[in-house]
């Protein structure tokens, strides 16, 4: 990853920060983009806050600014997303729309916006964050799982479209991440069985790296002991 330039969406969140830290430790230059306001970050990290990636123009502007700041792009990690537990009986159009915007539109828009720079690189790689739930949806997971299943199909189709253009596209499918919010929501669960953000970040960095140059279109389940 030495000197590779990577844009991470959802970069101010728990997973985004873990990915950024792992990338920097591996020698990459990093730009973070998020809908949230820009927080204090380590020196040398390009940060773009207040960007709505569900809006195509917002995504295009973010990719352009990140590419300009880093001198190009070699990688993209689509961490931006969200979760809601809601039964299909209770879910309305706004619930479906919101989760598809958060999880699928953000990834589709930013991938499209970053593609010109990734193609120029000749060694480009995209890693999308799907979910294990996209393979088998539990009760209350309909809209969320459907949006993440969309991320899987986006990954598959992009991988096929780009495999001869110097860009690889893969997805990781985590189960439950060990985050403060998940611990608060599930106080009786055993978080040691969950996936540490740093462990998921290590898999993402591998998929971005030249060590994974023969891997595209993969769907890597990262489920800890859940």
Give residue 213's domain range.
Answer: 5-222
Q: Which of 34, 5, 35 shows the shortest CA–CA distance to 17?
A: 34
CB-based contacts of 132, cutoff 8 Å, min separation 6: 173, 174, 175, 221, 223, 226
Number of folded domains in the chain? 1
Model confidence, pTM = 0.95
Q: Where are the alpha helices (DSSP H) in the chain?
A: 14-25, 56-70, 93-100, 106-121, 142-162, 180-185, 197-208
Q: What tens digit of pLDDT does each residue of 108-144 get?
A: 999 999 999 999 988 899 999 999 999 999 999 999 9
Catalytic residue among 35, 83, 144, 206: 144
Catalytic residue list contains 120 = no
At 78, is the pLDDT very low, low, confident or very high (cuts 50, 70, 90)?
Answer: very high
Print the SS3 string covering 152-172. HHHHHHHHHHHCCCCEEEEEE
Give the integer Cα–Cα distance in Å for 5 and 70. 6
Q: What does the pLDDT read at residue 226?
A: 87
Q: Kindly report, residue by residue over 45-69, the tens digit of the pLDDT.
A: 899 999 999 999 999 999 999 999 9
DSSP helix, strand, coil percent of the chain (3-state; round to 5):
45, 15, 40
Largest CA distance in the chain: 49
pLDDT at residue 87 in the model: 93
pLDDT (0 to 100) of residue 27 = 95
Answer for the pair 87, 19: CB distance below 8 angstroms, yes or no.
Answer: no
CATH value at residue 32: 3.40.50.720
């Amino acid at each position: 990853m030495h000197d590779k330039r990577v844009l991470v969406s959802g970069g101010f969140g728990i997973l985004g920060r873990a990915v950024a830290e792992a990338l920097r430790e591996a020698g990459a230059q990093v730009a973070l983009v998020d809908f949230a306001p820009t927080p204090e970050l380590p020196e040398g990290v390009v940060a773009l806050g207040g960007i709505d990636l569900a809006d195509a123009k917002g995504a295009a502007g973010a990719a352009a600014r990140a590419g300009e700041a880093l001198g190009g792009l070699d990688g993209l990690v689509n961490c931006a997303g969200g979760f809601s537990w809601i039964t299909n009986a209770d879910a309305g159009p706004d619930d479906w729309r919101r989760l598809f915007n958060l999880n699928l539109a953000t990834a589709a828009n930013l991938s499209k916006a970053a593609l010109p720079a990734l193609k120029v690189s000749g060694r480009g790689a995209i890693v999308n964050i799907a979910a294990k739930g996209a393979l088998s949806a539990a009760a209350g997971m309909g809209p969320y799982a459907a949006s993440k299943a969309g991320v899987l199909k986006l990954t598959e189709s992009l991988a096929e479209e780009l495999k001869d253009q110097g860009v690889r596209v893969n997805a990781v499918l985590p189960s439950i991440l060990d985050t403060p919010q998940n611990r608060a929501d599930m106080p009786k669960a055993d978080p040691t069985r969950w996936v540490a953000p740093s462990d998921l970040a290590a898999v993402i960095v591998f998929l971005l790296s030249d060590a994974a140059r023969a891997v595209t279109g993969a769907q890597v389940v990262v489920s800890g002991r859940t």
